[in-house]
């Protein structure tokens, strides 16, 4: 089987299947600027495809802007959060010291444990003598002091507290060493393969390293936990309910840059000034990572340059929001005849503003699925492409459970089909 372009409706391209033996009889359903193509007259399972090309007027200067963007840092990257598209980079694969950006992974593992029910935000954590001994930025834990997981997370997210990081690591994994193993396992699992953690807090260790690209990958993964943004967007937090211990967020872009709502700074003499930041404007969420800046407040000034370039140069083209019904394949041997299929997250692409480019969306799911079908079961994919380059791939899920039909229900279907009288009869 092959796919061929058959029609042009304005700026919309229609792609249809050509089978070697039979000639398809496709029919179209137009929904706004999206054309849904279905295959008729065949029992063969057919993949449903939507193909849309969006055109923009040319805008000179965008490419030049990217070419001239240069930051005063050892490495940097700009990534779109939903799709993971890299929009700009500068030495993005340089191995550098993350410093306290390490704590992003620490918070991720804690929040993941909460999501999985292995931990509660209200659980009490007892500070060990080892955790209490850590200096640098801290909340001056005393051995034996008890705080909830949530309180310590806020101390980490807002005040970058090293002692709180170690206390959480020990509570979750039994020891910081065991926790670090989990940090590295998670990094590998999500694709941050050039990262090596040696502690939970980021104090300097010559073997502790990552790259701007990996930190963007870690941050993007972390954004799947809504509470990570809630924590890292807090501008201040009073620890121990002590007015003398008010923690102020180390990410100063929360005050100075519109749209910034997380996530973490990291600074040591060896690492330089680092910042992993995220900001959202007009439906476009960006992740910027700047590492190793050696100018005063360079992590903030250079991150501002990167984010400003991104928002000035790109926009998000949404085809479907998260949870939108994108199709209804038939159901074989089910209690219903059709089942809605929904997008796991929003489907779209980041497009250069004003650039004349085509973007194609393909919705791929079977024409028919056999019951039983549990809710949330993967049943296809939405693929966004630009030419031959794949921009994003989103899983399509069964929206609601479809139990298998009982024997009596199947017999009823047969009888209904057998004795249905055609209007022309």
- The active-site residue out of 74, 103, 182, 264 is 103
Tell me the chain's radius of gyration from C-alpha atoms.
26
Q: How many whole angstroms separate alpha carbon 7 and alpha carbon 386?
A: 19
| Residue 100 bears catalytic tag | yes
CATH of domain 66-316: 3.40.710.10
- What are the tens digits of pLDDT across the range 165-208? 999 999 999 999 999 999 999 999 999 999 999 999 999 999 99
Given pLDDT bands bounded at 50, 70 and 90, which one contains residue 421?
A: low
Q: What percent of the chain has pLDDT over 90?
A: 71
Please report which residue ranges of 243-369 form alpha helices under DSSP H: 253-256, 298-313
- What are the tens digits of pLDDT across the range 235-284? 999 999 888 889 999 999 999 999 999 999 999 999 999 999 999 999 99
- The active-site residue out of 74, 128, 154, 160 is 160
Stretch 3-21: mean pLDDT, rounded?
A: 35
- The active-site residue out of 74, 100, 165, 200 is 100
Q: What percent of the chain has pLDDT over 70?
A: 80
| Residue 269 bears catalytic tag | no
315 alpha carbon, distance to own chain's centre? 17
Topology (CATH level 3) of domain 2-56+318-419? Peptidoglycan synthesis regulatory factor (PBP3), Domain 2 (2.60.410)
Phi first, then psi, for residue 90 (nearest 5°) are -145, 110
pLDDT of residue 37: 41
The lowest-confidence range among 9-13, 327-331, 362-366, 418-422 is 9-13
Domain coordinates of the chain in residue numbers?
Answer: 2-56+318-419, 66-316
Query: Residue 128 is encoded by which pair of tokens?
Result: 């060990």
Residue 241 DSSP one-character state: G
pLDDT of residue 60: 39
- What are the tens digits of pLDDT across the range 124-169? 999 999 999 999 999 999 999 999 999 999 999 999 999 999 999 9
Q: Residue 246: beta bridge partners?
A: 238
pLDDT of residue 424: 53
């Amino acid at each position: 089987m092959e796919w061929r372009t058959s029609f042009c409706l304005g700026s919309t391209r229609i792609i249809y299947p050509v089978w070697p033996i039979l000639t398809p009889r496709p029919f179209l359903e137009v929904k706004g600027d999206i054309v849904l193509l279905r295959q008729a007259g065949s029992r063969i399972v057919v993949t449903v495809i939507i193909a849309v090309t969006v055109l923009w007027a040319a805008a000179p200067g965008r490419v030049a802007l990217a070419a001239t963007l240069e930051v005063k840092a050892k490495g940097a990257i700009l990534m779109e959060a939903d799709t993971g598209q890299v929009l700009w980079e500068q030495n993005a694969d340089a191995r550098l010291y993350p410093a306290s950006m390490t704590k992003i992974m620490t918070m991720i593992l804690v929040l993941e444990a909460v999501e999985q029910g292995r931990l509660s935000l209200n659980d009490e954590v007892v500070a060990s003598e080892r955790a209490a001994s850590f200096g640098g930025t801290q909340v001056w834990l005393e051995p034996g002091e008890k705080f909830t997981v949530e309180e310590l997370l806020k101390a980490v997210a807002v005040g970058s507290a090293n002692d709180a990081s170690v206390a959480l690591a020990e509570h979750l994994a039994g020891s910081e060493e065991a926790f670090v193993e989990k940090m590295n396992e998670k990094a590998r699992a999500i694709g941050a393969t050039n990262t090596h953690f040696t502690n939970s807090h980021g104090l300097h260790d010559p073997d502790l390293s990552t790259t701007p690209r990996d930190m963007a990958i870690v941050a993007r993964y972390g954004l799947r936990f809504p509470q990570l943004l809630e924590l890292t967007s807090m501008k201040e937090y009073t620890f121990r309910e002590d007015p003398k211990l008010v923690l102020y967020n180390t990410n100063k872009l929360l005050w100075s840059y519109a749209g910034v709502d997380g996530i973490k700074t990291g600074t040591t003499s060896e690492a330089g000034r680092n910042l992993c930041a995220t900001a959202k404007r007009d439906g476009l969420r960006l992740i910027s990572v700047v590492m190793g800046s050696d100018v005063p407040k360079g992590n903030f000034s250079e991150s501002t340059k990167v984010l400003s370039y991104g928002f000035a140069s790109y926009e998000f083209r949404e085809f479907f929001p998260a949870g939108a019904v994108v199709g209804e394949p038939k159901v074989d041997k089910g209690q219903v005849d059709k089942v809605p299929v929904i997008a796991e997250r929003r489907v779209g692409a980041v497009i250069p503003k004003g650039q004349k480019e085509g973007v194609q969306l393909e919705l791929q799911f079977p024409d028919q699925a056999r019951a039983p079908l549990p809710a949330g079961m993967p049943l296809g994919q939405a693929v966004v492409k630009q030419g031959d380059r794949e921009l994003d791939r989103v899983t399509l899920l069964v929206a609601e459970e479809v139990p298998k039909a009982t024997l009596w229900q199947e017999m009823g279907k047969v009888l209904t089909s057998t004795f249905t009288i055609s209007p022309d009869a």
